Amino acid sequence: MHVIGRRHGIENFWATNNLERTINGFEEFSATLGECWVQPQRDRFGHAILSDEDVADAFGDALESPFGYYPPLTEAVFPGDTVAIVLQDKLPRSRLLLDCLLKRLMVTNVEPTEITVVVSPATAKSFGLELKQKSSLEEGEPVETESYFPLDDDFQSIQFKIHDADNEHGVAYIAANEEGLPVKVNRAIVDADVILPIGCPDSNDPDGLVDCIYPTFCNAETQARFRQQKGSIAERRAEIALANDHLGAFFTIQIIVGPGQQIYRIISGERTAAIELATTESNEAWRIKPVEGADMAIVTIETEQQSWKDFARAIVAANSLAVSSGPIFAWSNLNERPKSEIRKALNEPFESVHRAKLSRLMQQLADIVSERQVFLKSKLPQSITEELGLGYVDSVEDVSRLIANQSSGVLLRDAHRCHLTTELESQDA
């Protein structure tokens, strides 16, 4: 098996006309806010966001000039190679990025039939993949899954594999971790000659445990072990590196995004170096300075896959920026019913017995909702929103009416990704 690594029109984000990627016209709404409203991301991201056409060019440039790595992609992939493209879970703008990579691969004369795109069930759902299962002919045979995705005619023969962590036939053993436990990865990735992961730094991952391949594309037992945080951070980080090294996944493509999941930089290159560079740049981009004198805050969550943990992080960020007792509005597309921890944080903030059992993030959320009114725009029914003790809003008109009497405020987009700069850091800057 040979794997990469084994062989040595700028568009103003705040004035964009492309509303299909925004949530319910929030782009237009932000433009109507007066000068008393602070929008701290304008200066940082406003002139750096790439249009779709620029993304394609930037993608090609990144692949031709990989960071800390040689040769470029077009000289590292050959006709006859089997290629596994691995899309990180919750990857922003995944359709556009996949299209860019496929077009670059066509330059190498790799046959589309030799390309497999490996995705998680959550990514498959966001893609709208249609699944069909072939019945096994004999007991014990693996169940094959076919998937169909609307691609350009040139790419119709590309195969999609939706990872099934419960299917032991769909993973392959590649190594053992420090404790002797098996390290297994999706068989389509293991069997590929060339592995091309596309990932995105996570600003909420200070421990470096978010990886494109592992444990997202391993077996259910390993996923559960990581989810339960068994073993030290160092041990889990070492296991991630072990899996990538044994796969020969030494090359990566990293996407740095701004508010609204818009792309503003693409980095490719040697896995460790490229991830470190992308993480540093992403963390710096999402660091927000304190805002003084803001009565209230509006925060958005604009990722394709949204969670209540994202909601909690967004509320904490809003509370840190707008430190008054004014209301906070959270604008999202949440459509999952909250689990018990969220319900306890929102409904029982004064119950010390329950509070002590909450995570630190949920304790922060409980403290905030006990002191401030929080409104939520989501895809959930009004009854569920109000049962949680949250105010209900359904449109930008609702928000406009409710903020009419507020003298100033902060608008923070994709607030769950943001981190507040401390006073000492601000002085150093």
Tens-place pLDDT, residues 129-183: 755 544 444 555 555 444 445 555 566 788 889 999 999 999 999 999 999 999 9
Which range (10-24, 40-54, 266-280) has the least confidence?
A: 10-24
Grade residue 39 by pLDDT with cuts at 50, 70 and 90.
Answer: confident
Provide the mean pLDDT of the chain: 83
Structure tokens at 294: 């803001």
Whether the per-residue pLDDT at 362 is higher than 80: the answer is yes
* Nearest to 199, CA basis, from 220, 178, 214: 214
pLDDT tens digits for range 186-237: 999 999 999 999 999 988 888 888 999 999 999 999 999 999 989 999 999 9
What does the pLDDT look like over 378-422, one tens digit per residue? 999 999 999 999 999 998 888 888 888 777 888 999 999 998 875
| pLDDT confidence band for 354 (50 / 70 / 90) | low
More confidently predicted of 140 and 57: 57
Cβ neighbours of residue 167 closer than 8 Å, sequence gap 6 or more: 142, 143
Q: What average pLDDT does this structure show over 103-109?
A: 89
In the chain, where does the domain assigned CATH 3.40.50.11440 lie? 47-284
* pLDDT of residue 14 exceeding 70: no
**What average pLDDT does this structure show over 361-372?**
92
Q: Higher model confidence: residue 114 or residue 8?
A: 114
pLDDT at 47: 65
Contact between 377 and 329 (Cβ < 8 Å): yes
289-428 homologous superfamily: LarA, C-terminal domain (3.90.226.30)
Whether 375 has a pLDDT exceeding 50, the answer reads yes
Residue holding tokens 């037992």? 221
The answer to whether residue 358 scores a pLDDT higher than 60 is: yes
pTM of the model: 0.82
Fill in the DSSP letter of residue 422: P
14 sits in the region (left: phi over 0; alpha: psi -120 to 50; else beta) called alpha
Is the pLDDT confidence value at 427 over 50? no
pLDDT for residue 398: 87
- How many residues appear in the chain? 429
Q: Dihedral through CA 360, CA 364, CA 370, CA 376, nearest 10?
A: -110
Quick one: pLDDT at residue 204? 82
Please, what sign has the CA dihedral across residues 88, 92, 94, 99? Answer: negative
Predicted confidence at residue 7, as pLDDT, reads 28
- Pure H helices in 232-347: 233-247, 271-285, 308-321, 340-347
Radius of gyration for the alpha carbons in the chain, expressed in angstroms and rounded: 23
| pLDDT at residue number 402 | 86
Q: CB neighbours of 416 closer than 8 A, spacing ≥ 6?
A: 204, 299, 301, 303, 309, 310, 311, 313, 314, 317
User: Per-residue confidence at 117, pLDDT binned at 50, 70, 90?
Assistant: very high
* Cis before 215? omega within 30: yes
CATH 3.90.226.30 domain extents, the chain: 289-428
| pLDDT of the residue at 31 | 76
H or E stretch including 102? helix 94-106
How far is residue 173's CA from residue 133's CA, in Å, rounded to a whole number? 24
Q: Are 203 and 282 in contact (CB under 8 A)?
A: yes
pLDDT in tens, 309-350: 999 999 999 998 887 888 999 999 999 999 888 998 988 655
Which whole number is the average pLDDT over 279-300?
87
Tell me, what's the pLDDT at 422? Answer: 58
Q: How far is CA 204 from the centre of its chain?
A: 10
What pLDDT score does 429 carry? 43
> For residue 88, what pLDDT is reported?
95
pLDDT in tens, 61-87: 999 999 999 889 888 899 999 999 999
Tell me phi and psi for residue 38, to 5 degrees. Answer: -90, 130
Contacts of 180 (CB under 8 A, 6+ apart): none
The pLDDT score that the predictor gives to residue 15 is 28
Q: What is the CATH number of domain 47-284?
A: 3.40.50.11440
pLDDT at 86: 97
The whole-number average pLDDT for the span 30-55 is 78
